[in-house]
Chains A and B, each alone.
Chain A
Amino acid sequence: MSFLEVRDIYGGYGGLDILRGTDLTVERGEIAVIVGPNGAGKSTLMKAVFGLVKVRQGRIALDGEEIANQPPERMVRRGVGYVPQERNVFPTMTVRENLEMGAYPRSDDIRPAMDRVFDLFPRLAERQGQPAGLMSGGERQMVAMGRALMMEPRLLMLDEPTAGLSPKFIGQTFDMIRRVNGLGITLLMVEQNARQALEIAHRGLVLAMGRKRYEDSGPNLLANREVAEMFLGG
């Protein structure tokens, strides 16, 4: 039994299905990366796992438990964190307040979780009184990830964490992702910077037209000429 199992799901935004028989398997402790052309349904797949997009058919199981079509609040409590691609911080709230909101469903002491986030991202500790909206793109991404980490999730889903970042910050962000994975957190992410992402991926998937086309270890996918030509720009 795999940690996350998505079997043959169909679903979308009300009109035509975007996901058409999509499969996805992620093992505990992995970094799994989804790549694929624009509009392939990568973000939609993530939203389906998190319960933001209705799944009409098929099953999604986390650690053996059925989780399809559950409200986000329940997913958060079950140990799944989700960082959307855009608008993923509370801009007028401080870094510290963003992290506090991340822990909203918790009623126990959140300081240990916050200390862990500050250990992971020392930059956030330095700037904890800053409004998140005034920070650089790379720092905002730390806030967004930190917010999701406050619940100490088992699975963290990141939708294009390096979108719009300069090359320097892209490298930093992948480092951060590896450090988060080093804490034992399973990661599922969608990435446009496919080559760099696949380099650190234990598992890579190519999604096109709402279906899985290829699946292999990251380095193997990178070495696959067909995949490289069709999906990684040669």
Chain B
Amino acid sequence: MEVLQLLVYGVVLGSILTLGAIGVSMIFGILRFAHFAHGDMMTLGAYFGLVFVAGAGISPLAALPLAMGLTAGVAIVVDQTIYRRLRRTQPVILLISSFGIALALRSLIQLVWGPNSEVYRSGIQIPHRVFGLVVKPDHLWIVCGAVGLVVAVHLFLTRTKMGKAMRAMSDNMDLALVTGIPAERVIMGTWVLGGAMAAAAGVFLGMDTRLHPTIGWGVLLPVFAAAILGGIGKPYGAIAGGMVIGIAMELSTLVLEPTYKPAVAFAIMVAMLVVRPSGLFGGRT
């Protein structure tokens, strides 16, 4: 029973990690750098959600699209003002500058919302009992929301011209250029998608626990682990990677202290990089 209960938590965590990992994976696929500020973009999304939850009294789910839109906007501004200038340099410069952006975003969040924890809703939620398992209503919303968003991302990537162009750029950047695909526009689209999904992950994280200026940073490592497990640059791999990492982290509490959860993600990531750097499903590294 305990294992099943942990599986439930694992799927919830996995849903959140997946949404973060989709962005990390796509940004790596197209811009070739590990986006270290992704965790803090998740945090930013969570706090944008709080603005509407606290300010307008709407539910976190209703605030979700607004938080996604605002975070996507911030992602574009950061890209156009900072990353864009560095695109012609080496990817490692972008990686390091994204580290700087991570710190800047976190400080800004602390400045605006303070260093203490916040909650979307105070009071206790009455959990559902399903076959003896404890399932909070928010858990259901998180998983359903993540499934909905993943399906939307899938349809976007396979049915729309912009989505296909993103896959094309990630597949073969040089060919995309000689084909006449407008790279800068597609890069902006990638930030919109990555930023929006990061915000969703952040709001879900806030629904699951409490908001804190480091909630996103705290899951950055598992998010990277999920992206690498799925084969970085492959958004579909990120879905499987997120679930595996989320479930492994929760199941590890059977034998390890919960504080070791990120270490479990880290161990899986390192093992993966050693054994199969191209990800679970092989293919291009």
Type the 1/0 row for B133-159, where 1 means its CB is closer than 8 Å to any CB of A: 000000000000000000000000000
Given A93-B168, A100-B164, A76:B175 Cβ within 8 A: no
Q: Which of A138-153 contact B (CB under 8 A)?
A: 147, 151
A84-B175, A87-B172, A89-B172 are known contacts. Are A76 and B180 too (CB-CB below 8 A)? yes
CA separation between A72 and B283, bound complex, in Å?
A: 29
Shortest beta-carbon distance, B186 to chain A, in Å?
10
A101 near B178 (CB under 8 angstroms)? no
Q: Write the chain B residue with the least CB distance to A106.
A: B180
- Contact at B177–A72, with CB atoms within 8 Å? yes
Are B161 and A104 in contact (CB-based, < 8 A)?
yes
A90-B172, A91-B172, A104-B179 known; 8 new pairs, CB 8 Å cut-off, are A72-B178, A76-B178, A89-B172, A93-B171, A101-B164, A101-B179, A102-B179, A104-B180
Given A97-B164, A100-B164, A90 and B180 touching (CB < 8 A)? no
CB of A127 within 8 Å of the partner chain: no
Within B99-132, the residues touching A (CB, 8 Å) are: none
A92 touching B180 by the CB < 8 A rule? no
A92:B167 contact, CB within 8 angstroms: yes
- Chain B residues in the interface with A (C-beta under 8 A): 161, 164-165, 167-168, 171-172, 174-182, 283-284
Of the candidates A52, A76, A87, A91, the one whose C-beta lies within 8 Å of that of B179 is A76
Residues in A neighbouring B174, C-beta threshold 8 A: 84, 87
Mask of A73-102 contacts with B, CB within 8 angstroms, 1/0: 101110000101001111111000100111
Q: A50 to B164, alpha carbons, bound, how many Å? A: 24
Q: Which residue of B171, B176, B179 has the most chain A CB atoms within 10 A of its CB atom?
A: B179
Residues of B within 8 A of A184 (CB): none
Instruction: Give the Cβ gap from A2 to chain B, nearest Cβ, in Å.
Output: 24
Q: How far is the CB of A51 from chain B (nearest CB, A)?
A: 9
In A101-140, the 8 Å CB interface with B consists of: 101-102, 104-105
9 contacts between A and B (CB under 8 A): A72-B177, A72-B178, A73-B177, A76-B178, A89-B172, A100-B164, A101-B165, A101-B168, A101-B176
B165 touches A50 (CB 8 A): no
The CA-CA distance from A76 to B175 in the complex, in Å, is 12
A residues engaging B (CB < 8 A)?
A: 50, 52, 72-73, 75-77, 82, 84, 87-93, 97, 100-102, 104-105, 147, 151
- B178: chain A residues at CB < 8 Å are 50, 52, 72, 76, 82, 84
> How far is B167's CA from A73's CA once the two chains are assembled, in angstroms?
18
Chain A hits for B175, CB < 8 A: 84, 87-90
Residue of B nearest to A77 (CB): B180
Closest B-chain residue to A97, C-beta based? B164
Q: How far is the CA of A102 from the CA of B176 in the complex (A)?
A: 9
State A7–B226 Cα separation when bound (angstroms).
54
Distance (whole angstroms) from the CB of A135 to the closest CB of chain B? 14
Residues of chain B within 8 A of A102, CB atoms compared: 179
Please state if B167 and A93 are interface contacts (CB–CB under 8 Å): yes
Cross-interface CB contact of B181 among A84, A89, A93, A104, cutoff 8 Å: A104
How far does the alpha carbon of A100 sit from the alpha carbon of B180 in the complex, in Å? 12
CB proximity of B275 to chain A, nearest CB, Å: 22
Contact at A105–B164, with CB atoms within 8 Å? no
B182, A73: Cβ atoms under 8 Å?
A: yes
Question: B164 touching A73 by the CB < 8 A rule?
Answer: no
Assembled-state Cα–Cα distance A82/B161 (Å)? 21
Known A90-B172, A90-B175: A151·B164 in contact at CB below 8 Å: no
Chain B nearest CB, measured from A74 CB (Å): 9
| Listed residue (B165, B167, B172, B181) with the most chain A CB atoms within 10 angstroms of its CB | B172
